Homo-oligomer: A and B are copies of this chain.
Amino acid sequence: ALNQSKGLGKMHSLMLRCCRLIGSANFLTRLAQSTPVAVSNSNYNKRLLTYASGVAMTTDRYGGVMLDLSAVNEGTDEDLVMEHIRDAVSNSLTVAPAAWVRVPLHLSSLTTHLAVDGFRYHHAEGYYATLVKWLRPGRPSKVPRFGTHQLGVAGLLIDDESLLCVREHRLPPKQGAQTKKPHQSPWKLPGGVADLGEEIGDAAVREVAEETGIAARFESVLAFRHHHWHPMAFNRSDFYVLCRLSLDGQRRGELKPCPDEISKVDWLTVSQLDALPTEEVAPILRASLPLIRLGLRNGFKTVDMQRFALHSLYTAKRVSLYHRPLLGEVE
């Protein structure tokens, strides 16, 4: 875990700067004892120093200390790793509101030691877990939770006053089960969970194609639902965005229900859906029918939210702002 190729010449002045940042008079001495082997620069989120054990230290934009263990070799003495973690945290105490440790899966036995030191899981995915410790015991933690929401989308495709609707397969009821649940879901709009990084409209178009075989185009957002403690979102919250799609001048095309997921696809009018028993129509579709009827009567331009493209301060990816059209505005 030696990173000596990276700017060792700048090490002394940067370690001095690092000492100022961390605010401890003894820090340089203690660093020497702790044998940091490489220092790059002191910008936020950049490498500050790497200990001999491979523990790499950076700071975040709030002055928090971030320790990454991905360069720690398997088999490295766990006591040494913990010594370096404790050294970095204790030297950051005066300025850092929180300490973070990113632990690769193959070193997860270290998390037991971190737990004893007061670290708790903040989040984890794939090969990494990130633990956090709030360093100001007298004051409430300002560490935000990780990922409180998931994003679901639905595609409303209307042709000749009929809505493209689907029913999903359900697991068969177990033998002896007290309630005889049907083998398929109520009628609903095609839709599903958006992938990480996927645009809302793209996700709705993809789900409609996957579930029904119909190619459509994103037009607008009509509504969004906010549901907390959602069991299908691992008890986090669920955003569900209702998108209006169009056939883009094409004809309906052949219905090709996805065999894995979908038991039925059909075109149904609002009146047909209204006439079905409660349990035959998904509650969110039922709740959207007044809005859909209003759109059919007065034109969807009266209820649409349009997408406006924005620039991001942080990434080159597109950012979207959704609100009413600005047609009424005269600049």
Cross-chain contact B17 with A147 (CB below 8 angstroms): no
A223 and B145 alpha carbons, distance in the complex (Å): 24
User: A147-B146, A150-B149 given as contacts; is B222 within 8 A of A317 (CB)?
Assistant: no
- Number of copies of this kind of chain in the complex: 2
- The answer to whether A226 touches B320, judged by C-beta atoms less than 8 angstroms apart, is yes
In the complex, whether A87 has a CB less than 8 A from a CB of chain B is: no
Interface positions of A from 146 to 186, Cβ below 8 Å from B: 146-151, 171, 174-177
A12 within 8 A of B: no
Scan A14-47; emit 1 where CB is below 8 A from any B CB, else 0.
0001001100000000000000000000110000
Contact of A126 with B121 in the complex, beta carbons under 8 Å: yes
The 0/1 profile, CB within 8 Å of B marked 1, for residues 26-70 of chain A is 000000000000000011000000000000000001110000000
The chain A residues found within 8 Å of chain B, CB to CB, are 17, 20-21, 42-43, 61-63, 105-109, 111-112, 115, 120-129, 144-151, 171, 174-177, 193-194, 196-197, 199-200, 222-231, 233-234, 236-237, 239, 242, 283-284, 287-288, 290-291, 293-294, 297-298, 302-303, 305, 308, 310-315, 317, 319-324, 326, 328-329, 331
Expressed in whole angstroms, the Cα–Cα distance for A257 and B252 within the complex equals 57
Contact A151 B148 (CB under 8 A): yes
9 contacts between A and B (CB under 8 A): A108-B112, A197-B228, A226-B320, A227-B314, A242-B323, A283-B310, A287-B321, A288-B323, A303-B324
Specify which chain B residues have a CB less than 8 angstroms from the CB of A43 in the assembled complex: 177
B322 in contact with A226 (CB, 8 Å): yes
Q: Nearest Cβ in chain B — how far from A20, in angstroms?
A: 6
Minimal beta-carbon separation of A151 from chain B (angstroms): 6
- Cβ-defined contact, A326 with B197, below 8 A: no
- Tell whether, in the assembled complex, residue A124 and residue B123 are in contact, meaning their CB atoms are under 8 Å apart: yes
Report whether A303 and B283 are in contact in the complex, using a CB–CB cutoff of 8 Å.
no
The 6 A-B pairs at the shortest CB distance, nearest first, are namely A147-B147, A223-B323, A124-B124, A121-B124, A149-B149, A109-B109
Q: Pick from B108, B146, B149, B297: contact of A109, CB below 8 A.
A: B108
Cα A290 to Cα B290 in complex, Å, equals 29
Check if B224 sits within 8 Å of A322, measured CB to CB: yes
Give complex CA distance A293, B223 in Å.
23
Known: A308-B287, A315-B228. A125 touches B145 (CB 8 A): yes
Give the residues in chain B near A315, CB-CB below 8 Å. Answer: 228-230
Q: In the complex, A227 Cα to B146 Cα: how many Å?
A: 16
